[in-house]
Structure 1
């Protein structure tokens, strides 16, 4: 997440660079030892970094075996608060997790900043807002006897729950009929099984989507900031404060009918009616209009013709006939999710103890008209331990993204930079966008 360019200076032969290295590792080191009472090794890590417009270095603690003191020497032109690029220091809670910025230091020419590296030395470089100025610095670490780290704090994950019993009627209320057609579901499944991801455009009925977007503007919704900033920063909605249509949509995302529809889209077993791998026959799907599709072809055709015009005439409790525990044999499919608001300064980070498991991610976007990917806010999937991007999901109105990830895949939402505010010229009330982010587990 370092947008800036950086270069190691440890072995550079230029006279000014080696003179600076010598001064830091001898004169400054001796002085630092006297001031801090920490025994420091003569060798230092040293590099330079160049931050330009929209570059940012998000919240982290610098901790690595043996690092004891971090230093930064600023080589910047005259700098103002409005240029961004401050060094922000965070307060921490009882779990040694960062909370909020408690001090911001503005860079200034030939100024040296140093701090002790510890389990609570969380800091960040705030976004560069200046289009012309370059924030150039030389920074690095002095090493010494390693400190003992507290045990890594594991936070509670979002609560998971099984589906809510709703029959197929809820699909006809919300979903674009194109996606309820059995042929298109089979086609989607074929593509998904090949690529492990799919984007379904115009997923909701137009009028429903419109109502959702209007409801999201409601001033009574209570949004709260979700951190900690070394892992994420965005806002999440308090469910009790939501207008009815948003509550209904969240129920739709938890509904049994959607679990079955997602099974049909993906081939995953998220419902007992979904055929399992052992089931014979290629391309079988459970009929999300309410029956397992082992019917005769005539019935199938009739059902399909009928479903495009009116809802099939079927008993309302079609899903409630059997208990999913007993049907599933092994485990009950579950989901967890939230409604999130994204604006300038928001992001999520890949972190060491991010739980990785087989799961289906669902992302549904609202309020993204004229959103430019250069603003950030897209979701990136990467292979664990690699920088290589496997997939990028860009925010797009009324678009449902489904991504199946394995244990080796991690994801993050790219920091939303200040250029996103240019959109206010066209959409005066739109500082960002919303998404419904859900994860489904077989």
Structure 2
């Protein structure tokens, strides 16, 4: 008698087949799912009010956000989830905006606890959010794991990208305090809708989920991790839905530019290293610069003059102003009126003032004569010749510049509406106070191609080195965040943990 064996439905693992790990269920806290609590959260969110109940906090200042402590009921599940996440491969992520380690997308990971928390977030919690926020959220959810360790940071941004509606972070951290850094900082805005002041700092805590509404004003940052032995581990991502309407973006006024006026050549011989005044060497420099569009001229100023500059930078009379907003830049710039001057410069300024007063007097006389007889034909011809002569002469280059001071926490960011990055320009940088500065401190100027993270060129802070870089419309630049490692220099250098640069940009 012959027969076919029936399918094995008894759960017995057949030989040669690998047993798949079963997904483990992650139940959300009953307190969060409680109908009464859910209604209270819904009401507070819609009315933009505060609500606190146990480990649940709703606050709409500076923008709507909510904290849910003890998010997952089973603590053993959370511990196993943490172990699975730490076993993932992480990639170093570093550009103008951030420095940390990140996993690949977790949507297809099959580890039981990762799969379990994914179900809890994508299904149960997404349904809860839809009811509470009265927002239709799509099934597609972005999710990955991030590790922030010593000096890692995420600078100020608003998270806005087409389709992102709700951002979330689930923290899986050891005991954490404010002094460890790594806080989630929420910023308020000014009259132009730009981030301005730090309003609230949320300290990460174990098994706590925080979410907020992505909007034109949801400016936030992860402060630099200060602890040298703790890991800030988190799951984070976005629920997708219809984006909130964005008002027209605020466009900053373009920085003022001034004509580049030639100065007395005697100043060059007084200040600049004689090597760079040699005609043959200048030709060599020019040839190299034309080939590469960048060059570094070491020991550019005479040694005694460079020492004088460094001494002048320590004067307390210099007024340093903090430059922002933080979604674009954060550093100190010197007020020009408070900068120390040489006696020759003071005399020159007085002469320029006298000259301007004389020009005003002459202009007044010309205006008086124009009210009398009309100009003669000869006068008109001469005027025409002057116009023709002027039109044929090359235009005078314009420039803008500032003296900047860089310390821990300072940086600049690449942003979409930077008017400085839409035309050809020549950058000039002269660094001071860079003794013992190391690349791992940050503070270097990085050039990248538009839309890319890969660096084209890096200019590191180096004493008395003049960097010249000619860039096109597709080349962007930023100064990398200066981290706390630089604080080690505070007690051993005359300028503490700061350095300086003279930054000028020339335009045709």
Q: Which residue of 1 aligns with 2:291?
A: 194
Question: Deviation at 1:343?
Answer: 0.1
Deviates more, 1:29-38 or 1:385-394: 29-38
Q: Which residue of 2 aligns with 1:110?
A: 207
Whole-angstrom CA distance in 1 between matches of 2:317 and 2:344: 14
Distance 1:2 1:247, change over 3 A: farther
Residues 1:404 and 2:470 aligned together: yes
- Structure 2 segments unaligned to the other structure (5+ residues): 1-96, 350-385
**Quick one: which of 411, 417, 426 aligns to 2:483?**
417
Whole-angstrom CA distance in 2 between matches of 1:129 and 1:174: 42
Question: Deviation at 1:17?
Answer: 1.2
Residues 1:365 and 2:461 aligned together: no
**Quick one: which of 222, 226, 238 aligns to 1:125?**
222
Distance 1:222 1:191, change over 3 A: same
Q: Which residue of 1 aligns with 2:101?
A: 5
- Report if aligned partners of 2:433, 2:495 keep a CA contact under 8 Å in 1: no
Deviation track 1:311-348 (CA, whole Å, cap 9, x = no partner) reads: xxxxxxxxxxx99x938635321111111000000011
Deviation track 1:67-102 (CA, whole Å, cap 9, x = no partner) reads: 111110000011112211000111111221111211
Question: Deviation at 1:245?
Answer: 4.4
Distance 1:407 1:63, change over 3 A: same
Instruction: Map 1:65-76 onto structure 2 (within 5 A).
Output: 65-76=162-173
Instruction: Specify which structure has the bigger relative contact order, considering alpha-carbon pairs within 8 angstroms and separated by 6 or more residues.
Output: 1
Question: SS of the counterpart of 1:187?
Answer: helix
Q: Which residue of 1 aligns with 2:449?
A: 383
Larger Rg: 2
Distance 1:163 1:15, change over 3 A: same
Deviation track 1:265-322 (CA, whole Å, cap 9, x = no partner) reads: xxxxxxxxxxxxxxxxxxxxxxxxxxxxxxxxxxxxxxxxxxxxxxxxxxxxxxxxx9
Question: Deviation at 1:413?
Answer: 0.5
**Quick one: which of 274, 278, 287 aligns to 1:181?**
278
**Quick one: which of 19, 24, 38 aligns to 2:121?**
24
Question: Deviation at 1:4?
Answer: 1.1
Instruction: Map 1:21-420 onto structure 2 (within 5 A).
Output: 21-245=118-342, 326=390, 329-354=393-418, 355-420=421-486
Distance 1:155 1:197, change over 3 A: same
- Report if aligned partners of 2:260, 2:396 keep a CA contact under 8 Å in 1: no
Question: Deviation at 1:429?
Answer: 4.2
Whole-angstrom CA distance in 2 between matches of 1:221 and 1:34: 57
Question: Deviation at 1:34?
Answer: 2.8
Whole-angstrom CA distance in 2 between matches of 1:177 and 1:232: 37
Deviation track 1:221-264 (CA, whole Å, cap 9, x = no partner) reads: 11111011111100001111111149959x99xxxxxxxxxxxx
Distance 1:416 1:164, change over 3 A: same
Distance 1:415 1:238, change over 3 A: same
Question: Deviation at 1:357?
Answer: 1.6
TM-score, normalised to structure 1, is 0.80
Question: Deviation at 1:60?
Answer: 0.7
Query: Could you say what the CA RMSD is over the residues aligned between the two structures, in angstroms?
Result: 2.1
- Report if aligned partners of 1:368, 1:397 keep a CA contact under 8 Å in 2: yes
Question: SS of the counterpart of 1:402?
Answer: strand
Question: Deviation at 1:39?
Answer: 2.1
Question: Deviation at 1:352?
Answer: 1.5
Deviation track 1:9-54 (CA, whole Å, cap 9, x = no partner) reads: 1121222112111111222122222322222222211111011111
Question: SS of the counterpart of 2:98?
Answer: coil
Question: Deviation at 1:368?
Answer: 0.4
Distance 1:190 1:232, change over 3 A: same
**Quick one: which of 433, 438, 442 aligns to 2:499?**
433
Question: Deviation at 1:177?
Answer: 1.5
Question: SS of the counterpart of 2:456?
Answer: strand
Question: Deviation at 1:152?
Answer: 1.9
Whole-angstrom CA distance in 1 between matches of 2:397 and 2:464: 25
Question: Deviation at 1:425?
Answer: 3.3
- Structure 1 segments unaligned to the other structure (5+ residues): 253-321
Whole-angstrom CA distance in 2 between matches of 1:206 and 1:327: 43
Distance 1:330 1:164, change over 3 A: closer
Question: SS of the counterpart of 1:119?
Answer: coil
